[in-house]
Amino acid sequence: MNSGLLCVDKVRVVRWTLTALLLVVVLSGTSRSAQANSSALGGSLLEQGEVAITFGGGFPDAFVQFDFANSKRFNLAMKGRINYNFGFPFFGLHAFVSAPMRINLMPISKKKLQFALSLEPGGFLGGSNIHGFHFGFLMGVGGLVSYQVNNKLNLYGGLDFQFHIGFEPDAGSALNISGIIRPTMGLHLPIEVVAGAEYTINENYALFGRVAIGPMIFAGNLGAILSPSATAVHGSARLWIGAVWRR
C-alpha cells in the first residue's frame, strides 16, 4: 500500500517537474531580454519579439509609450502624453495620442551604427489661455542615427518635424484681443535637432535622456496673438528624462 502511494507521489513529482520545464521553455522562447545594440527611442530598433514600456517627463510634457518589435526592421508603439506648453506663446493643457513607428531602412553596421526613419501619426485636444478649446491632428516625420558606444550606452541623434494642424470650433464668432476674428485652423511646426542617450542598467531596465531644439513655425490661430492671420517663428526647446522597462 505504501509502495503504491510512493509510486503515485513520484509520478506527480515527475509530472510537475516536466510542466515547470515546459513553462520555462515557452517563456524563454516568447520573450526577449534587452539587447545591447537595441534602443527604445533611438535609431537602433528593438529585437524581434521584444517589448518595452517607456516613462518620461520634463519640459514641456510627460509621456508613456508601449513598444512592440514586430520585426528587426519595424517597431510599432502606442504613446500617450500630457503637454502643458504647446509652444511659446501658446500656453495651455493638451492630451496627445499617437502611434510612433520606427523603420530600419539601412543598417550601416549591425553592432555599432544604425539608421531609422521615424513616423508618428496621431491627434490631440486641449485648450490654451489665449485661444480656448481646440483639437487637431499631428504627423511626425524624422530620421535617427544610433551609435552603440559599448554594451551599456547607446547614443543617438537626428532631425524631427512635427506637423500639428489645429481646429477651433468657436473661432468664427470669437474675437481676439485686437478685435479681429480668429481663423478656424492653424499650423504649428517645430523643426528640431534631436539628441539622446540610453544607459542599460540590466537586461530589463534602462535610463534615458533626450533633448530637442530648433525653430518653431506658427500660422493661423496656433500661436499668433496680435496678428491671427500672420506667420510667426519662435524657438523650441524640449527635454525629457525617464526609464525604460524591456523584455
Distance CA 160, CA 163 (A): 10
Q: C-alpha cell of 97?
A: 495620442
Which residue is listed with cell 512635427? 162
What pLDDT is recorded for position 125?
86
Compare 33 and 188 and report the one with higher pLDDT. Answer: 188
Mean pLDDT score of the chain: 78
For residue 87, pLDDT over 60 is answered with no
**What's 221's DSSP letter?**
T
Q: For 105-147, what is the HEC assignment?
A: CCCCCCCCEEEEEEEEEEEEEEEECCCEEEEEEEEEEEEEEEE
Confidence of residue 230 (pLDDT cuts 50, 70, 90): low
Nearest-5° Cα angle at 132, 220 to 184: 35
Q: C-alpha cell of 196?
A: 539622446
**What's 206's DSSP letter?**
E
Average pLDDT over residues 159-173: 76
Q: C-alpha cell of 216?
A: 518653431
> Which residue, 148, 144, 140, 222, is CA-closest to 188?
222
User: Which phi and psi angles does 17 have, rounded to 5°?
Assistant: -65, -45
Q: Compute CA 241 distance to the chain's CA centroid, rounded to the nearest angstrom.
A: 12
| CB distance 164 to 222 below 8 Å | yes
For residue 25, pLDDT over 50 is answered with no
For residue 157, pLDDT over 50 is answered with yes
> Which residue, 148, 59, 43, 14, is CA-closest to 102?
43
| CB distance 101 to 74 below 8 Å | yes
Distance CA 143, CA 94 (A): 25
Distance CA 136, CA 198 (A): 31
Tens digits of per-residue pLDDT, 168-177? 766 544 444 4
